[in-house]
Amino acid sequence: MSRTDMNEFLAKRVKSSTPERLELIGAVIHEARRMSTRTVVFHTAIADRLGLNPSDHKCADLICNETGPITAGRLAEVTGLSTGAITGVVDRLEKAGFVERVTDPGDRRRVVIQGTKEGRAPDMRHLFMPIMEGTAALCDTYTNEQLALIVGFMQRCGAVTEAQIAHLRATLEQPPQIPSKAPVKPGHLPRKAAGPKPTARKR
């Protein structure tokens, strides 16, 4: 989207549409998009380094660094993958040594998936250390008030993204709309499409 198109888009959606404010909000949206692309590329590079495909890597990352022990059903809900696909993901990650299936201590009838303590899960955490160190050094250049503002903004951006994820999934699950046909009245046959009139034969 060009700068002019972005300004026209924002002018209809923000309270104050001064040129300076439109420019700043447009820059935020642009940089957020660039950061999203960089994040995808970064995680793809991590997956390549670990010998995983991006989907398997993100599931392993969720289990080892965010959710902790989780059921396959809940992991399917979080990722949007089908339960069948999640079974394949967990099988591959378990075989590669990143996760393991264990009995839930709180409910012996339930199985949860968790990161391995002595397998390859620590290798994944090790690869994230440099970017964590760089981010920590960057944050150290801001005041507490600025950091609190940044955290709040990121949390609210996350809520916007999660709402859009839910919307896209709900739309995807809706059955396709089939156009209804007009009912045919009793005793009436549907009219055939008009075609070219037959030409008279010459004798």
Which among 60-64, 128-132, 149-153, 171-175 has the top mean pLDDT? 149-153
Domain boundaries, the chain: 1-50
H helices of the chain, in order, are: 3-11, 19-50, 54-62, 72-79, 83-96, 121-139, 144-173
Q: Tell me what pLDDT residue 177 has.
A: 61
Write the pLDDT tens digit of every residue in 134-155: 999 999 999 999 999 999 999 9
Task: Give percent above pLDDT 90 in the chain.
Answer: 53
At 195, the pLDDT band (50, 70, 90 cuts) reads low
Write the pLDDT tens digit of every residue in 152-167: 999 999 999 999 988 9
Cα 199 to Cα 135, 165, 173, 196, 202: the distances in Å are 81, 61, 53, 9, 9
Q: Tell me what pLDDT residue 73 has.
A: 92
